[in-house]
Structure 1
Amino acid sequence: MSKEVRDLIKTHLPDYSSSRFGNLYTDTSEFMNIDFSDVIQLGNEHFLVSKNEMERRFGLDDPKYWVKRCKRLEDKQPQILKLAFYEKFPMNIGPFKIECFRSPRKEARILELVKGDMRFMQGYSADDSAGNNVRVLDIIRGKRLDVWVHNIPVDHKTYFHEHFPDIFEKYIGACEAIKFLHDNDEKHGDIRRDHLWVEYDTGDYRWIDFDYAFELYENPFGLDVFGLGSILIYLVGKANITAQTMKDHNIDPGMLSSITPGDYSVVIGNRVVNLRKIYDYIPPSLNNILMHFSSSSSVFYESVDELMLDMNKSLKEIRNL
């Protein structure tokens, strides 16, 4: 197949400098075998693979072999191809037991639903020759929101008073985008802080990665709501605060004696949710929202509407500080 790939690349990319010409794939089932300089064909379009995308979490870089950074030969546009990958796993949050799984066609549905809505990543889907659903995604030129916030070079008090109100307002807008999905009976499925990006040119907040789905019979959209709460906790604290990282954030370790088991997150048990105990200038109205996501809470938000109602009230109070 190398000659076929060589001819394709020379036709569309005459300045291609690599001496390696890979294989042509019309069936992406064995995505682990598809690598640099291979070409993926979807219908009449051809995508030259440059690398696997990486999962960057907890300080580690793990290759995502089913997600390829590519260049579409026909127009030389960089794209991301998400190939069909299936997995299933359980998750426990407080009293809830949740079954999570990947669904390429669910992500394809959402891409069609949000076409032209720049609160979300953009793209389209196509089936390969074996019927695998492949999502062809536009690349967002931007940075993860959590990295953006982390890099603001000020102490927490300055951040909270001078930067957080605008971030909070835009985050409420991002929650409104998730409400749009729920209103259309769709779930994001994997809401976490590395799936919300800030676009460089516009400053807009944009959601990515919709291929997870979940089953939570007590509340069909509950996992999305918990995810929104976890991001909010990060934004309020300008970090995820744990007993081990207090010193890193210039927090008096002696303050740890005032933190009780009920002050930690119901989602990730080592993260402090009751941030007002650490930063006493956080308004009670905002801290009360955070405490809905604590292990001591007996009342959880059932919808994005409920969460947004409280956030908008708190934003108004913060603007008047």
Structure 2
Amino acid sequence: MSSEVRELIKKHLPEYKISRFGKVYTDTTEFMNVDYSDIVKLGDEHFLVLKNEQERRFGLSDPKYWVKRCKQLENGQPKILKLVFYEKFPMNIGPFKIQCFRSPRKEARILDLVKGDMRFMQGYSLDDTAGNNVRVLDIIRGKRLDVVVHNIPVDHKTYFHEYFPEILEKYIGACEAIKFLHDNDEKHGDIRRDHLWVESGTLDYRWIDFDYAFELYENPFGLDVFGLGSILIYLVGKANITAQSMFDHKIDKEVLSRIDSGDYSVVIGNRIVNIRKIYDYIPESLNNILMHFSSSSSVFYESVDELMVDMNQCLKEIRGL
């Protein structure tokens, strides 16, 4: 089989240097077997596998064996292939019990829906010979929004007054993009801060990874709204602040004595939501938005529209309009 791979590379990428030649896969069911120097053939398109993508969270990197960094032989363009991987797990947020699962077909639908809309990653899907729905994705050159915010080299007060207003305005635009999905009866499904990227050059905010779905009968779009709230909390605090991380953020220990159990996130229980107790220059109206996502809240946002109305009002207040 390696001779077939050698001939394909010689034909399409004659200048490309590769040290070994693998196999051609037309059935990607056993995605763990698809590795460096193999070729995935989907219809008339061929993709040379270069490496597995990595999941980078909490300072750790885990390989995502179903997500392959590739080079498309027909045009030499870098691509990401997301192969079919199913998983299902429960999640509890406050009083809500949510069933989450991966749905490749759902991500394929969204890719069709957002084609040409650069608020989202771009791509298309193709079935392999076994009927697995493989998504072919363009690579976004840029950085995660949380990394961009973390790397702004100023103290929190300077960040909040000089940088945050523009960040909030652009984040509201990213929320508008999620509203577009909801208006079309689709969910993002996995909204978290590493799934919102800032594209190099344009500095546009762009959403990635739509293959999670969830069942929340009380509010079909509720998990997306909670995800947007968690990102906003990070953006306001310039970090996810916990009792353990206060020292790292140069926050006076005395502040901790003012924090009570109701000041923590309903989504991730050790994260402080009541940022105004830490930074007293946070407007009360903005802090009230954050407190909708606290464990002490009895009222949650029902929709992205509600959240955006409040954020827009806060933006005007912050800018003194």
TM-score normalised per structure 2: 0.99
1:260 equivalent in structure 2? 260
1:190 equivalent in structure 2? 190
Question: 1:19 Cα deviation (Å)?
Answer: 2.4
Question: 1:172 Cα deviation (Å)?
Answer: 0.2
Question: 1:13 Cα deviation (Å)?
Answer: 1.5
2:33 equivalent in structure 1? 33
The answer to whether residue 77 in structure 2 is matched with residue 77 in structure 1 is yes
2:249 equivalent in structure 1? 249
Q: How many residues align?
A: 321
Letter in 1 for 2:282: I
Tell me, in whole angstroms, the C-alpha distance in 2 between the residues paired with 1:19 and 1:189.
40
| Cα deviation code 1:219-259 (max 9, x no counterpart) | 00000000000000000000000000001001001210100
Question: 1:18 Cα deviation (Å)?
Answer: 2.1
2:278 equivalent in structure 1? 278
Tell me, in whole angstroms, the C-alpha distance in 2 between the residues paired with 1:15 and 1:112.
34
Letter in 2 for 1:161: H
Q: Residues 172-251 of structure 1 correspond to what in structure 2 (within 5 A)?
A: 172-251=172-251
1:269 equivalent in structure 2? 269
1:128 equivalent in structure 2? 128
Question: 1:201 Cα deviation (Å)?
Answer: 1.1
Q: Could you say what secondary structure the match of 2:248 adopts?
A: helix
Q: Residues 63-74 of structure 1 correspond to what in structure 2 (within 5 A)?
A: 63-74=63-74
Letter in 1 for 2:91: M
| Cα deviation code 1:270-292 (max 9, x no counterpart) | 00000000000000000000000
Letter in 2 for 1:60: L
Tell me, in whole angstroms, the C-alpha distance in 2 between the residues paired with 1:16 and 1:292.
54
2:62 equivalent in structure 1? 62
1:158 equivalent in structure 2? 158
Tell me, in whole angstroms, the C-alpha distance in 1 between the residues paired with 2:32 and 2:16.
24
Tell me, in whole angstroms, the C-alpha distance in 2 between the residues paired with 1:243 and 1:62.
27
Tell me, in whole angstroms, the C-alpha distance in 2 between the residues paired with 1:142 and 1:120.
13
Tell me, in whole angstroms, the C-alpha distance in 2 between the residues paired with 1:194 and 1:171.
14
1:102 equivalent in structure 2? 102
Letter in 1 for 2:72: R
Tell me, in whole angstroms, the C-alpha distance in 2 between the residues paired with 1:36 and 1:218.
45
1:297 equivalent in structure 2? 297
Tell me, in whole angstroms, the C-alpha distance in 2 between the residues paired with 1:192 and 1:51.
24
| Cα deviation code 1:155-196 (max 9, x no counterpart) | 000000000000000000000000000000000000000000
Question: 1:17 Cα deviation (Å)?
Answer: 2.0
Letter in 1 for 2:162: E
Question: 1:11 Cα deviation (Å)?
Answer: 1.0
Letter in 1 for 2:151: N
Letter in 2 for 1:48: L
Q: Could you say what secondary structure the match of 1:147 adopts?
A: helix
| Cα deviation code 1:101-146 (max 9, x no counterpart) | 0000000000000000000000000000100000000000110000
Q: Could you say what secondary structure the match of 1:229 adopts?
A: helix
TM-score normalised per structure 1: 0.99
